Amino acid sequence: MQRYTVTFQPGGSSVSVPAGTTLLQAQIQAGLPTDAPCGGQGTCGKCRVTLSDGSQVLACQTPVDRDMTVLLGQAQKVTILTRSLAVQTQPDGTDQYVLAFDIGTTTLVAYLLDGKTGDQMATASAMNPQSQYGADVISRIQHVLDQGGGDMQQCIVAALRKLTREVARQAGIKPEEITTASVVGNTAMHHLLLGIDPHSLVTPPYMPAVYEARELKARDWLPTSGTIRTLPNIAGFVGGDTVGCMVSTRFDKLEDLSLLIDIGTNGEMVLGNNRRRITCSTAAGPAFEGAKISCGMRGAPGAVDHVTLENGRLSYHVIADAEPIGLCGSGLLDLVAALLDTGDIDESGRLEGKTYSLCPNVTLTQKDVREVQLAKAAIRTGIELLAKTFGADIGDIQTVYLAGAFGNYLTPASACRVGMIPPVLVDRIVPIGNAAGEGAKLCALSRAEYAYSQELAKGTEFLELASLPQFQDQFVDALEFSEEDL
């Protein structure tokens, strides 16, 4: 078969590929970062590149039919949340160095800790390379079912190895001096990392193939020695990351009724206290991470991250005070909330004029508003049905813990204005940063914490929202921006 050379600029990286290979596939083979949240279906438009003749094409839809030179857009330097509320524990002290990973659907974070003192020595982060197969877990699972999981597993393992070497370099140690590592991630990330068939996650009753925590030989996955601890899964879309959040918040020790929400591509949440706790997952979709939004982007320089309405006029803030080029999740939420207040968006979600221009490079479309409605309705429905199942009123919830990057940066008033979180809770919202990563750190430092994570998972009830007869009606009701959210 005829082969051609594709050269990517800037940088001059080149790769030889068979004729018919798409430019996106060539980019992946060259080891270059990609932005293809639709998984190469040609629907998101995020993989647009420029050819040597000046024409712009979608990399995922353009086959290689000759030697080609491709100009890539400047890679976004995304801000990845690594901070969290610090939780004290007594380290076992048997390891000199331990490592903790938070494998998110979008981002990866690694923490290197002193195994004797618990002090954090280094941290490193990266985008999850699996996003080249789709922004959401369903797209990635479908890729594995259609084409096998080898490439999906290989790219995440390579990324974790790179992060391991980076934190070791920062601390001035050898990777093999690290003797214990822990990993948290949602159930799909867990299965794809370990090479477990994810078929059960997308077929009724949508449950994990593996629930239990596992200790694995590190040499099969990382350039470290000793073992890797994976936290347990609770359900098909409630995994070790949620368990890690519960570990770091000591959720089963809370006296007041509390709600924990980790808003990402999936919205996992836990409602309860020291007497009972129930968890569920809602398919919020990747809208708040920039996918499926016309000007959507991640939290990088140039992203509008906050919008405010003052004296009838909208103003906005841009990350790094750069030229605005798009909207990240918190900015999107603020903009929709502000336009509800100005009347440009009505209760049904209709956008006046079908498009709103915030500034020359940033617009909001009617389709964008619909994506926000779907995402916020999923979260709100989960909260309402969890409370109903628990036998509590929304007003009984005393604290709302928001975990994850989006929860850390969003404006609580905007989240309540659009109806994603019930307005009565606006003053009870507490951002807790990367709580899943904090849980991973605790489980790396202490075997007792690792055992605690397993107890938490076993004692947490799971609510399958889609099985409830009132789910569909509740979801449809939550789509509107109702008067109660004013």
First-to-last C-alpha distance (Å) of the chain: 63
Whether 3-71 shares its CATH topology with 97-249+436-449 is answered no
Model confidence pLDDT, tens digit, residues 57-110: 888 888 888 888 888 765 556 566 666 667 789 999 999 999 999 999 888 999
Running DSSP on this structure, what letter comes out for residue 1? -
pLDDT at 339 over 90: yes
* CA 33, chain centre distance (Å): 17
Burial 138-176 (b: 16+ CB within 10 A, else e): bbbbbbbeeeebebbbebbbebbeebbbbbbeebebebe
Query: Which stretches within 214-308 are classed as H helix?
Result: 240-249
In contact, 230 and 195? CB cutoff 8 Å: no
- Cβ-proximal residues to 359 (8 Å cutoff; 6+ apart), any chain: 304, 316, 324
Query: 3-state SS of 48-69?
Result: EEEECCCCEEEHHHCECCCCEE
What distance in Å separates the CA atoms of residue 47 and residue 61, rounded to the nearest whole number? 9
pLDDT in tens, 276-310: 999 999 987 777 877 789 999 888 889 999 999 99
* Other residues' Cβ atoms within 10 Å of the Cβ of residue 180: 28
Cβ distance 81 to 405 under 8 Å? Answer: yes
Q: Is residue 484 predicted with pLDDT exceeding 70?
A: no
Q: Count each helix (H run) and each strand (E run) in the chain, helices first.
A: 12, 22
Averaged confidence pLDDT in the chain: 91
**Amino acid making up residue 186:** N
The DSSP letter of residue 84 is B
Write down the pLDDT at residue 76. Answer: 57
* CATH number of 97-249+436-449, picked from 3.40.120.10, 3.40.50.620, 3.30.420.480, 3.40.225.10: 3.30.420.480
Q: What is the pLDDT of residue 291?
A: 75
Position 79 scores a pLDDT of 61
Q: Is 348 exposed, middle or buried (0-12, 13-18, 19+ CB in 10 A)?
A: exposed
Residue 41: is its pLDDT beyond 90? no
pLDDT digits (tens, 9 = 90+) for 121-179: 999 999 899 988 887 888 899 999 998 888 899 999 999 999 999 999 999 999 999 99
Instruction: With cut-offs at 50, 70 and 90, classify the pLDDT of residue 406.
Output: confident
Q: Is the pLDDT of residue 320 over 70?
A: yes
Q: Where are the domains of the chain?
A: 3-71, 97-249+436-449
Report the b/e string of 18-51 with b at 16+ CB within 10 A.
Answer: eeebbbbbbbbebebebbbbbbbebebebbebee
Q: Please write down the long-range contacts of 47-55, taking CB distance under 8 Å and 24 or more positions apart.
A: 48/73, 49/23, 49/73
Is 390's pLDDT higher than 70? yes
Could you tell me which of 224, 199, 221, 67 has the C-alpha nearest to residue 145?
A: 199
The whole-angstrom separation of Cα 327 and Cα 335 is 9
Buried b (16+ CB within 10 A) or exposed e, 106-127: bbbbbbbbbbeebeebbbbbbb
What pLDDT does residue 192 have?
96
Compute how many other C-beta atoms are within 10 angstroms of the C-beta atom of residue 304.
Answer: 25
Q: How far apart are CA 305 and CA 335, in angstroms?
A: 10
Q: What percent of the chain has pLDDT over 90?
A: 68
Any idea what the Cα angle at residue 226 is, between residues 224 and 228, rounded to 5°?
80
Q: Is 192 in contact with 140 (CB distance < 8 Å)?
A: yes
Q: What is the pLDDT at residue 254?
A: 97
Per-residue pLDDT reduced to its tens digit, 249-276: 999 999 999 999 998 778 899 999 999 9
Query: Quick one: CATH architecture of 3-71?
Result: Roll (3.10)
The structure tokens listed for 410 are: 């969003």
